[in-house]
Structure 1
Amino acid sequence: MNTFYTLKNQLIILGAILMCFTSQAQDIPFNCDFSAYLFQYNDVYAIDLASGNSYQVATDVTPGNINATAYNPADGFIWGSLSTPAKTIVRIGKNFNTTTYYVDELPTNGRYVGDVSADGIYYLKAGGKTYYKIDLDPESENYTQHQETSNLSLNISIHDWAFNAVDGMLYAVAKTSNILYRIDPLDGNVQALGEVPILSGLSYTYGAVYFDLSGRFYVSANETGTIYVIQSVQDLVENGVMDSNLFAFGPSSSSNDGARCPTAPVLQEICDNGIDDDGDGLIDCEDPSCSGFGNCALLVPPTTGSNDGGLESNNRLSEQINTRNFNRAKTSYSFDRSSARRMTKNDSYAQRNANSGFTLEDFIPLGIINEDEVIDASPSDLVSITNATEIYGVDYLKNNTPIASILAIKTENGVYEHTKYICDRLLGAELITVNTIDINGQSFIKSIIKNADGTYEFVLSLSAKVINNDENFAIESHWNLDQYEQDVTFYNFQIWSNSVDDLFSIGQEVLNLLETQKSISTYNNSIPPTVFVRKGKYINGSLDLQIINTNSTENVTFDAGFRTTETGEFGALNSTIDLNQDYITNLQLETGNLFDIGFRIGDGIATPDDLFMSDGPWGIDDSQTNTTVDTYAILPNDFTFNDNDFPIERNMVLKATTSSYVAAYRALTPRFKAVDLSDYNSLKFSAKGTGNLEITFVKASISNWEDQYKSTITLSNTSQNFVLPISSFQSGNGTDLELNDVVTVVFTMVSEDGTTTTKELTLENLRLSQDTLSVDDLTQDTTALSAVPNPMTSATTIQFTANQTETIQFVVYNQLGKVVYQTTHRATPGNNEITLNRNNMSIGIYFCKIISQTTLYNPLKLIAR
């Protein structure tokens, strides 16, 4: 083979006629499959235009770099132009075997625009107006030979063009001007159709463009990977109305070109039918292609601010983090943007601080995304509870709304330990996609996160370290934190924005500002995972996960470390997850009850995906100087919660000495976010201990602790079951409690006379209930019901004793838990009776329950025959 290859080159030099070199005798055509193919250097990626997801399908397919790639409808192969050998084009099969052809009429370099017409003519262009026609119809006697050299009527700055199968015209979008051009392949006439509206104001290189059978034109921006669509370009007239939109968020690329069969369909999301039409797992307005259509909002929502960012719980720091969040929750802390310091661009911006050294503030971009103002939103309280030694955070505001944020963090013992994409997915957020963004010629991982509130954020993380005796910066950016160098000082940048274009601009300026202080000598960036968890949640002993598999992986390994409680030891889980090469897999992984879990999924080849999840934590408030905790333990539940309960998992044991107070608290979410519990009407639990226990629901809407809603019970040294109606919780503001924004539940024990005393508390089986029938309410402290007669035939009398006058509810359930009868009754102190007529109740077993605000009644089993 080497001898033949050398001979071929010799013949080329001698000017011999067209020679052919085939690496395999049997090539396989693509035959108009649905994928778009992105060629970068000499590697090939398959892209699903509907989702933007991509994966590498071949590497090093030719000795030279490939560009000007095109699908040939005449033979079903993809063709391209090679940088080496000179004046060479290449045919590529679906098995990525290649055949090269020498065309003497071609220029030696710079051929980066190309596509093939329906009749098999390859239109190949370098810079300037000149383009070349090569016959690639395998039935032609001039197969692979140069046919004609022509000139365009206008010199246009384009980096790819594509044939529209509907009208047979070539189309391209120019860099900077963003003008869409229609080119007549027969005479080279260029028609400017106008600026593409969705691209207005951008300055990207559009190096990969594609068509589908309906004449939709898909344009990919090299730097960000964003895929845009222009509808029905064959119907456009010069300066007419042009329908353009976002379509998907794909991978960034450089030295690239795209190829796709122009008559293959691209699945389209219908934005109002409640169905995932294009199979990417995103329904209606969730899909980027629906941005701005119908009732779907444009993808420009507000972002979360930097004052709330940069922090998730982990084992090493969980106690400090929980204390910080609890202190914020007690006062309903909210960052006040109106009083924050405003940052202004001055003469020292982007200037090297040679004498005084640099600060984190020197790396904060200003005035580059058309923001109204930039405010200091630094969460300074992170310094004492994380591995950060300095923190500087800013929010970029437009119309008083945050549109982007940066959290700049200095760490001295390795990279910063918290990233948005690792933790947010198991807290209600979704990872819509993860791919790349190209900044200053370097590929970084970008992710798109859909927050629990429905807003979207585009996220980028990078870190810089000083090397070469303080002369240079080295940049690292990885998906997995364990890929960063350990025990060195890093300057970490977490950037998020409501648009990928602003993310690109901010990220580019951060790198430029780093370069100003010290030249960047090296980059060490990882590629994104090809299999990742889009979303997940923990439900009663199992992880409910949705896994996206972009490269048809058969299976991945699952490796996890977990704790069943906050004070427990770590355990390990290992298993194999079978994905069956499916793009989307929904599954439940049994884990047993747990407090937190960190896990990794991967195929052992590509970058693995890491996630961390924590339940809402238990914690203790022992902040008083005269309070000492003797025992504090969190224990697993072995209680079976009802389906209509809101379980507050794990039991708590506390023993402390205090002359003031000691409190335990349970956050309802890991980040102390408010939860709507309006559907629940009672708090149930078992407890024992000493003295009185004050129970407080902390609402996000109340900033004054004294106005929070409280109820008090008396503990004994034996465990009792308690049912506290929500209506029994009282506030100084005199209004009824609404559980619409509960952050934490606090359990406080006070030294009533101010003397040092020992307080003990055991809490078990804590849950909020909707007060339907539950056999768990049976205790020695409840009051019995009776029915005479029982079994009943036509009617029976329910008998019970009340301690005070009140209106109670009487409810009858069948064996499936369905309410078959209910009424109210005015109970008086002493013996009471309620007559129950059988009416339409069929033969069987029923359960009778009285719901009281003051007394817990045993459910009664009633037989009807």
Structure 2
Amino acid sequence: MTTTLRNLKNQLLILIVLLLSTTIQAQNIPFNCDYSAYLFQYNDVYAIDLASGNSYLAASDITTGNINAAAYNPADGFVWGYLSSPSKTIVRIGKNFQTTTFTIPELSTGNKYVGDINTNGIYYFKSGGTTYYKVDLNPSSNTYTQYLATETLSQNINIHDWAFNAVDGNLYAVEKSTNILYRINPTTSIVETIGVVPILAGLNYTYGAVYFDADGRFYVSANQTGTIYVIQNVQDLTATSIMDSNLFAFGPSSASNDGARCPTAPVLQEICDNGIDDDGDGLIDCEDPSCSGFGTCAVIAPPTTANDGGLESNGRLSEAINKRNFKRAKNSYKFNQKTAKRVTRDTSNTANKTMFTGFQLQDFIPLTVINEDYAIDSTPQDLLNITNATEVYSVDYMENDASIASILALKTENGVYEHTKYICDRLLGAELISVSTIDINNQAFIKSIIKNADGSFEYVLSLSAKVENNDSNFAIESHWNLDLYEQNVTFYNFQIWSDSIDDLYILAQGVLNLLNTEKPLSTYNLSPPPTVFVRKGQYNNGALDLQIINTNSTQNVTFDSGYRVTETSEFNYASSNINLNENYITDITVPTGHLFDVGFRIGDGINTPDDLFMSDGPWGVDDSQSSTTVNNYIIEANTNTFSNEDFPIERNVILNATTSTYFAAYRALTPRFKAVDLTNFNNLTLSAKGTGNLEITLVKQSITNWEEQHKTTIALTDNFQEFVLNFSDFSSSLNAPLNANDIVTIVFTMASEDGTVTSKEMQLQDVRFSNQDTLSVNSFETETNTNAFAAYPNPMLSRTNLNFTINNNETVQLTIYNQLGAIVYQKNINAKTGKNQIEISKQNLSSGLYICRLTSKQTHYNPLKLLVK
């Protein structure tokens, strides 16, 4: 028995020694100058990729007190910080986020939130005022972890973090409110004023996390918005220098922010004019925020008007939405911002309000807070008939007669409003550049940055308010996923977008302040942003082509989808797994089969999942005449495969109706009824049968009078016939030939010729825009034909060569368009007499059909269709 006890004690002793050794070893794992920046928020740690701004939670609750004055120590490779409690305590943090604390008795009580460590391991930290402290954190020093001195700065500066520049050994900081860059000499304590940082001029943020890279670039993060700014070569600046500063990335916001990073680690930089993703964030040249304002890269672009917004992100009301858009297209409706009613804070509203002791949506719209020239009423009243909104009001904020921001406000009585811009837009040509947080009233809301199909950028935020506590308070909810909102309650929904993240912050804060004025805000229920999200995607030939951004090295995500094959079919459901292999960017094709619309969710089952919805251009029925009754309406999937040379109008239609006037089937070319340039085609081809004459109208966006649209008529029989309708067959009362550069909709109309009630039917199959001209795309023609323009290989997998001949030396322009008519590539080429070749690579081109145009002053080249696999 004694032997057994002795053996048990020895085993326990060995186990304890092993555990202690493991703990000590774990605590002694340094970061060793890795490339990440570390952001400390209270006692949580986020790892940030400065190049992209993307972040993920690396560790939570690593200490009992909050960590501030965080700094990387070049002398030992660890990160150190100052603890809020216990007082006078600093903490060492290892790469696995194990911590060791040290008490420094000589320090004053109270928090210290500004700190960094020089190359010799001396920790410089402070709170407000001019006093700062030095502690030795060099493990080879005799005074390791001991207090060294208390020093006094030459002047008081209102800063919240500073950082050592390894290039010159000085400390640098940016002051709140004044936005002045300071240089602090750690030997003399002299503070040198360098000047206002141009990119920060006029802002009023707290800069609680700052970093350096190996080349002396100074990165400054704003607590409230999470925006990361960069100042180039600060070691070379003087008070008379021209300071080079710019946006760099969009990271997470925080009410408590402090940063640490190895100052000799490089940060990848995007070169803004070489067509390459230099920093590995998936954004090329002007797409990258760090290229804002560089060369031809725009600083801002007007966002869309709220009058175009507000379509729900689901398939439940697709038919009603389709009718709304058709009505707009048929009437050539276009919202005119220049003639719209201007909005002012009408003093009579206050009097009316006191009379009925209520409030209106208008009461929660801030005005003049972003120094707009004026605001206009852009309310899309037609949303009331097709969505779950019972009230709607929107404002566009105008500057130089262009929209710079919008707020769309909607009241719903049966749950949250069902549309958010980020759910729909990514599968309709837009890209989700970034998703992170923005801190408003010490609450972390989700902000997203969307690049629209036209190249403009929008900063987007949504929130909803509901009444609680017997109508005495407003409670705020804001989630990425709509199913997280409380069900069956009345919400006041606000969707805010702007061309500036700073204006987004101000407008959202203004909405919250006005809500709080009406009813004090009692609670916030907010969700974090997704860590894995789809940046962009498109439906193409029975599959979804997706680009997935994986910010926290997730291995696998689940793909759950609900879809319909046609507009009139039932929903089907499917689930599968996607292997991301922990890669930051994954381009993947998800087979779906042919479909009309799809909603899907991807997620790892732990963090916030990402939701998306996509609809193809819809078919619809115009049965608006009182005498018209639809007897049979069926939409069927195509059975034939379209040629890669065609612009397909997917799905077939059977429509039978009784009328004494007319009825029609119509098909939008895009989900949003946007115009498409079809000038690369010369005919509309379809198979059809039915009873009597069928009038076909190609609706141009630029023609405002329906009677002036271009039409043609074909005679249907009981048997299917193929019709090839050249554009020249379409005539207009304008007596002008059809220019198919802005076709929005195709309308197929059948009428009662004599005004009596009659039944008619149309059956339409394999509708497509085509081109009778054939163009060899398999090889380069070597004959002396000077207008030969060909690509090889075609289809293009990773790269192709465009070949052409020219008679004389000339600068020609190559332009490549996508199927929506948007320019995706443009380049000038100095062509030489004879054969020429242009090599292009796939880069960020999605799979699909593209049109290549070669513009020359001396030679006409036929457009070339290029298929990208």
TM-score, length-scaled by structure 2: 0.86
Letter in 2 for 1:657: T
> Superposition pairs for residues 712-791 of structure 1, below 5 Å?
712-771=713-772
- Cα displacement (A) at 1:53: 0.6
Residue of structure 1 equivalent to 2:501: 500
Q: Is 1:256 matched up with 2:254?
A: no
Is the contact between residue 312 and residue 387 of structure 2 (CA under 8 Å) also seen in structure 1?
Answer: no
Residue of structure 2 equivalent to 1:531: 532
Residue of structure 2 equivalent to 1:831: none
Is the contact between residue 36 and residue 48 of structure 1 (CA under 8 Å) also seen in structure 2?
Answer: yes
Q: Distance in 1 between matches of 2:555 and 2:22?
A: 32
- Cα displacement (A) at 1:339: 2.7
Q: Deviations over 1:399-440 (max 9, x none)?
A: 110000000000000000111000000000000000010001
SS in 2 for 1:532: strand
Q: Distance in 1 between matches of 2:794 and 2:558?
A: 40
Letter in 2 for 1:718: N
Q: Distance in 1 between matches of 2:119 and 2:351?
A: 56
Residue of structure 2 equivalent to 1:311: 311
Q: Is 1:565 matched up with 2:566?
A: yes
> Superposition pairs for residues 290-301 of structure 1, below 5 Å?
290-298=291-299, 300-301=300-301
Q: Distance in 2 between matches of 1:82 and 1:22?
A: 25
Residue of structure 2 equivalent to 1:832: none
> Superposition pairs for residues 556-635 of structure 1, below 5 Å?
556-635=557-636
Q: Distance in 2 between matches of 1:72 and 1:373?
A: 51
Q: Distance in 2 between matches of 1:377 and 1:283?
A: 34
How much is the aligned-residue C-alpha RMSD, in angstroms?
1.8
- Cα displacement (A) at 1:656: 0.2
Residue of structure 2 equivalent to 1:685: 686
SS in 2 for 1:696: strand
Is the contact between residue 313 and residue 423 of structure 2 (CA under 8 Å) also seen in structure 1?
Answer: no
- Cα displacement (A) at 1:47: 0.6
Question: CA, structure 1 residues 384+64, in 2 after alignment: closer, same or farther (shift >3 Å)?
Answer: same
SS in 2 for 1:382: helix
Is the contact between residue 313 and residue 670 of structure 1 (CA under 8 Å) also seen in structure 2?
Answer: no
Aligned length: 758
Is the contact between residue 23 and residue 98 of structure 1 (CA under 8 Å) also seen in structure 2?
Answer: no
> Superposition pairs for residues 292-691 of structure 1, below 5 Å?
292-298=293-299, 300-312=300-312, 314-347=314-347, 353=353, 356-691=357-692
- Cα displacement (A) at 1:744: 0.5
Q: Deviations over 1:797-840 (max 9, x none)?
A: xxxxxxxxxxxxxxxxx9999xxxxxxxxxxxxxxxxxxxxxxx
Pick the structure with greater CA Rg: 1
Q: Distance in 1 between matches of 2:737 and 2:312?
A: 34
Letter in 2 for 1:321: I
Q: Is 1:272 matched up with 2:273?
A: yes
Letter in 2 for 1:267: L
Residue of structure 1 equivalent to 2:847: none
Question: CA, structure 1 residues 406+65, in 2 after alignment: closer, same or farther (shift >3 Å)?
Answer: same
> Superposition pairs for residues 139-154 of structure 1, below 5 Å?
139-154=140-155
Residue of structure 1 equivalent to 2:828: none
Q: Is 1:117 matched up with 2:118?
A: yes
Question: CA, structure 1 residues 352+577, in 2 after alignment: closer, same or farther (shift >3 Å)?
Answer: farther
Letter in 2 for 1:696: T
Q: Distance in 2 between matches of 1:47 and 1:736?
A: 57
Q: Deviations over 1:466-507 (max 9, x none)?
A: 000001000000000000000000000000000000000000
Q: Distance in 1 between matches of 2:108 and 2:562?
A: 59
Is the contact between residue 436 and residue 446 of structure 1 (CA under 8 Å) also seen in structure 2?
Answer: yes
> Superposition pairs for residues 5-154 of structure 1, below 5 Å?
24-26=24-26, 27-154=28-155
Letter in 2 for 1:196: V
Letter in 2 for 1:513: L
Identity %: 69
Question: CA, structure 1 residues 174+350, in 2 after alignment: closer, same or farther (shift >3 Å)?
Answer: farther
Q: Deviations over 1:367-395 (max 9, x none)?
A: 10010101111001101110000000000
Is the contact between residue 555 and residue 576 of structure 1 (CA under 8 Å) also seen in structure 2?
Answer: yes
> Superposition pairs for residues 798-837 of structure 1, below 5 Å?
none
Q: Deviations over 1:557-607 (max 9, x none)?
A: 000000000000110121100001111000111000000000000000000
Q: Distance in 2 between matches of 1:348 and 1:465?
A: 26
Residue of structure 2 equivalent to 1:705: 706
Question: CA, structure 1 residues 65+353, in 2 after alignment: closer, same or farther (shift >3 Å)?
Answer: farther
Is the contact between residue 313 and residue 420 of structure 2 (CA under 8 Å) also seen in structure 1?
Answer: no
- Cα displacement (A) at 1:314: 3.1
Question: CA, structure 1 residues 816+118, in 2 after alignment: closer, same or farther (shift >3 Å)?
Answer: closer
Is the contact between residue 352 and residue 516 of structure 1 (CA under 8 Å) also seen in structure 2?
Answer: no
Q: Distance in 2 between matches of 1:461 and 1:815?
A: 46
Residue of structure 2 equivalent to 1:828: none
- Cα displacement (A) at 1:250: 1.0
Residue of structure 2 equivalent to 1:840: none
Letter in 1 for 2:219: Y
Question: CA, structure 1 residues 313+764, in 2 after alignment: closer, same or farther (shift >3 Å)?
Answer: farther
- Cα displacement (A) at 1:254: 1.8
Q: Distance in 2 between matches of 1:402 and 1:21?
A: 63
SS in 2 for 1:90: strand
- Cα displacement (A) at 1:82: 0.4
Q: Deviations over 1:217-239 (max 9, x none)?
A: 00000000110000000000014
SS in 1 for 2:511: helix
SS in 2 for 1:337: coil
- Cα displacement (A) at 1:240: 2.0
Residue of structure 2 equivalent to 1:804: none
SS in 2 for 1:339: coil
Q: Is 1:194 matched up with 2:195?
A: yes
Is the contact between residue 47 and residue 55 of structure 2 (CA under 8 Å) also seen in structure 1?
Answer: yes
Q: Deviations over 1:841-864 (max 9, x none)?
A: xxxxxxxxxxxxxxxxxxxxxxxx
- Cα displacement (A) at 1:724: 1.1
- Cα displacement (A) at 1:353: 4.7
SS in 2 for 1:60: coil
Residue of structure 2 equivalent to 1:809: none
Is the contact between residue 646 and residue 769 of structure 1 (CA under 8 Å) also seen in structure 2?
Answer: yes
